[in-house]
Amino acid sequence: MTRTTDPAGPPAPTPTPVAGRSPRRTSRRTNRGDGRLRRLAAATASAALALGAVLAATAPVAAPAAAAPPVPTPVVDSPNGRGDVILNLFQWTWDSVAAECTSTIGPAGFGYVQVSPPQETIQGTAWWTSYQPVSYRIDSKLGTRAEFENMVDTCRAAGVGVVADAVLNHMAGADQGGGTGVAGSSYGVESYPGLYGPNDFNDCRSNISNYGDRYQVQNCRLVSLQDLRTGSEYVRGTIAGYLNDLLSLGVAGFRIDAAKHIPAADLAAIKGKLTNPNVFWVHEVIGAHGEPIQPTEYLGSGDSHEFHYGRDLKSRFDGQIKDLRTIGDGKLPSDRAGVFVDNHDTERNGETMSYKWGAKYKLANAFMLSWPYGAPSVYSGYTWTDKDAGAPGASATAVPDASCASSAWVCTQRWTEIAGMVGFHNAVAGTAVTNWWDDGNNHVAYGRGSKGYVTLNNTANAVTRTYQTSLPAGTYCDVVASKDCSKTVTVSGSGTFTATVPAYGALALHVEAADDGGTGGPGPVDPSGTTTVFYATGGWNAYNVHYRVGTGAWTAVPGAAMTAACTGWVSKEIALPDGATGPAATITAAFTNGSGSWDNNGGKDYSLSGAAVAVSGGTVTAGDPCDDDGEGPGPVDGQGDASFAVTATTTWGQGVLVVGSIPALGSWAPANGVALSAGTYPVWTATLDLPAGTSFAYKYVKRDGGGNIVWESGSNRTATVGQDGTVTLSDTWRS
């Protein structure tokens, strides 16, 4: 929404990276005085919009999208798996989001990141200026078009899709008069040169005063914002052109701001003009009992946010959480509902909980990520006392890069509890609630099939008790308590365990975080059911892949024939066993022309996993190389040396391996890790080729002659291969 609240909407329930980049952004804005460059940028934007309008005219009408967006590709290995959780990074610059995708969002297992509106807006320091467009140029306080495109590409490489907050209902407020946008575009009341004029706005020029009147809500001005005539084919085509421009940059979906103020049929018509009319999008429809406009009206073109969910979380964590068991009753269907604990509007108007609730806020997020209702969105903004205040350090035309080193930014995504529960959510996906228990008040516990178990204590005292689960016997990491499995819980053969849950705290266990005597080691990504293997062509007249899945049988030589996929590539889709994960879903393969020539990775064979994986010149990269019109996956060029060195003492018969999040490091499977040389003992070393720009997580393990594995302690190490294709790592074993 805009401003700080929807003034005539539902009343709020009772009871209440690196800093210092702003000079560069300020300089970038100042340099826009070059009229020639400004005209060139304007011409480019106009051309993009024109192209979008042409494409829109022939696009088919969309079918409704499912609530949980599909997992983005490429599927990148994460210690927490990969799922559909959206992280809402409010008022983060594009450069900050890109860095966070690589360092935190991808490794944590989030599927998507939602970013603030990317179009040019009015000037001003308040956050709501981002919701007052003056043009559809991708040039805002949060970064340039080039920075936005780089962010999308960087996040995609980390396995994270970008969802853009799209402002389609209106332009700037009439109360702003005229002026110049942050990127230099001029505007006035109902005057947006080259874009919109008076006939492109609805006839009602007054503000909405009665939310019980459908006409007012969808035709009059929301707090002075100039309401677009979305029933007009010209306006629909222009909006579709903007969205198509974003799709051309790789955006994976949209959050439709102020959707309640646009007739559902208009939004369906706009979506039908997109180059991808099936793209995920979710409507912001603030439902209230007794109002004529309800979220269900919008399910024909996408999903809707379920605002009653966040309101009920607030009520129950301020009352009795035993009632959480029925939180999905009387709401949107689960597969069509977007859910959240809070967002940028509701944290300010008191409608929901917020970071200011402290431990209870963390508990509410833990519940949302563990309960099977809706598609969850985790919110991460900044601290505030003034409800209108913009991001820390914001000027009228620029926002400094976010910094989690500063207490001014909340950085929810870096909290141990959040990261742990994202992994829990991914691990238990598709399972039903089992073993529900509550004390009749504020202590609850429940399982998710035989894959997970969680207990929430919403009281001021620690509680010790024995819990009944459906988990297999074993020792599990408490993923709420630590990221390195420093706190474990042992489940008996009958499925019980005894533990103490802290005051206003939680405990969560799942089968992908089982302790193995070290730190448990992170689990690889849950596969999609198939792996498509691509192989770069050159010199052979036929291509076959000889393989086995997990510990299964090998195909008969020469294996399965591969067929042409795009210029320079052949492929074969390989089915995985039902429910297979980790090593059971890993393909061991070699390639042959069927006439005696083989590529078996120097006698080691290839270890392949994920939804799509490409092999070229002995190097394995995640993703579909044909996504870019056959140009091949970006990382293949620019190979260089990645040097690993770790100081580690061993007993007789032990060796040291490096295991990590990418196929070249075994996809977290020690059996497929890279063995290090003891030639300079106690420093163990290895060198391998990795693509420039590759980011990965890794740890060291010790393995003896019997195959027993010991993981080093502590959290996952991370590294990124430099643009020159090299990275040098010098580490010490963590006992």
pLDDT 10s digits, 134-174: 999 999 999 999 999 999 999 999 999 999 999 999 999 99
Range of the domain at 463: 431-510
Supply the CATH number for residue 543's domain. 2.60.40.10
401 is catalytic: no
Do residues 473 and 607 share a domain?
no
Same domain, yes or no: 563 and 657:
no
Beta-carbon neighbour count of residue 205 at 10 Å? 14
The answer to whether position 60 is within a domain reads yes
Domain ends where: 600, 616, 635? Answer: 635
Residue 165 belongs to some domain of the structure: yes
What is the β-pairing status of strands 303-305 and 337-340?
parallel
pLDDT digits (tens, 9 = 90+) for 680-716: 888 888 887 777 778 888 999 998 766 788 889 888 8
Residue 524 domain-assigned (yes or no) = no
Residues 630 and 682 occupy one common structural domain: no
| Domain co-membership, 249 together with 126 | yes
Together in a domain, 460 and 493: yes
Degrees, nearest 5: CA angle 616-619-620: 90
pLDDT at 38 over 60: no
C-alpha angle 27/30/36, rounded to 5°?
A: 120
Question: Looking at residues 236-252, what average pLDDT do you find?
Answer: 96
Residue 12 belongs to some domain of the structure: no
Q: Report CA 359 to chain centroid distance, whole Å.
A: 24
Would you say residue 86 lies in a domain? yes
Greater model confidence, 79 or 632: 79
pLDDT of residue 519: 31
Q: What is the CATH number of the domain that holds 246?
A: 3.20.20.80
Concerning whether 153 is annotated as a catalytic residue, the answer is: no
User: How much is the average pLDDT of 312-319?
Assistant: 96
Domain final residue pick, 389, 415, 441: 415
- Exposure letters 369-390 (e unless 16+ CB within 10 A, then b): bbbebbbbbbbbbbebeeeeeb
Place of tokens 């379920």: 306
How many folded domains does the chain comprise? Answer: 4
- What digits encode the pLDDT tens for the residues 571-604? 888 887 766 776 778 899 999 988 888 888 878 8
59 and 177 assigned to the same domain: yes
In this structure, is residue 7 part of a structural domain? no
- Minimum mean pLDDT among 117-126, 392-401, 562-571, 595-604: which range? 562-571
Q: Compute the chain's Rg from CA coordinates.
A: 27
SS3 assignment, position 7: coil
Residue 521 lies in a domain: no
- Do residues 565 and 663 both lie within one domain? no
pLDDT digit string, tens, across residues 617-631: 888 877 788 764 333
Distance between CA atoms of residues 605 and 547, nearest Å = 9
Same structural domain, 396 and 435: no
CB 512 within 8 A of CB 428: no
Mean pLDDT score of the chain: 84
pLDDT at 61 over 60: no
> Which of these is catalytic: 100, 227, 284, 297?
284
Alpha-carbon distance values, 63 to 57, 261, 422 (Å): 17, 22, 29
Q: Are residues 372 and 447 in the same domain?
A: no
What confidence tens digit (pLDDT) does each residue in 180-224 have?
999 999 999 999 999 999 999 999 999 999 999 999 999 999 999
* pLDDT value at residue 83: 85
**Model confidence pLDDT, tens digit, residues 268-280:** 999 999 999 999 9
Residue 104: its pLDDT value, please?
Answer: 93
Using one digit for the tens of pLDDT, what is the confidence trace for 364-384?
Answer: 999 999 999 999 999 999 999
Q: What is the CATH number of the domain that holds 447?
A: 2.60.40.1180
Q: What gap in Å lies between CA 549 and CA 570, rounded to an integer?
A: 20
Mean pLDDT of the region 488-512: 95
Residues 617, 490 share a domain: no
**pLDDT recorded at residue 149:** 96
Residue that has been written with the tokens 């001003």 in this structure: 124
DSSP state of 589: E
- Between 307 and 684, residue with greater pLDDT: 307
pLDDT at res. 562: 84
- pLDDT of the residue at 469: 95
Give domain status of residue 15, yes or no: no
Helices vs. strands in the chain: H and E counts, helices first: 12, 39
Q: Rounded distance, CA 663 to CA 604, Å?
A: 13
Residues 358 and 226 in one domain: yes
CA distance 472 to 526: 19
Q: Which of 616, 635, 654 is the last residue of a domain?
A: 635
Indicate if 325 and 214 belong to the same structural domain.
yes
List the catalytic residue out of 227, 257, 306, 599.
Answer: 257
The pTM for the full model equals 0.65
Tell me the CB-side half-sphere exposure of residue 330, using CA atoms within 13 A: 10
